[in-house]
Amino acid sequence: MHKDEMKGAAKQAKGAMKEAAGKMTGNDRMRAEGAAEKAAGKVQKGVGEVKQTGRDALKH
């Protein structure tokens, strides 16, 4: 697992919690920030997966 995958997953989880808290409290700004952070985490995780796949391909 590449470090970007781990950081991305953590960012996704943090964003999901922030989004849920925003929904529960009716805070649209927090909900939007959480959604954006979750999306950024998903992208970062994907980048890490691509990097790891490239590394694995070079090993074989």
Q: What is the pLDDT tens value at each position of the chain, 60 positions in all?
A: 889 999 999 999 999 999 999 999 999 999 999 999 999 999 999 999 999 999 999 987
pLDDT for 58 equals 92
Q: Could you tell me which residues come within 8 angstroms of residue 19 by beta carbon, excluding any fewer than 6 positions away?
A: 30, 31, 33, 34, 35, 37, 38
Q: How far is CA 14 from the centre of its chain?
A: 8
* pTM to 2 decimal places: 0.84
**pLDDT value at position 1?**
83
Residue 34: the pLDDT is 97
Can you give the pLDDT at residue 47? 95
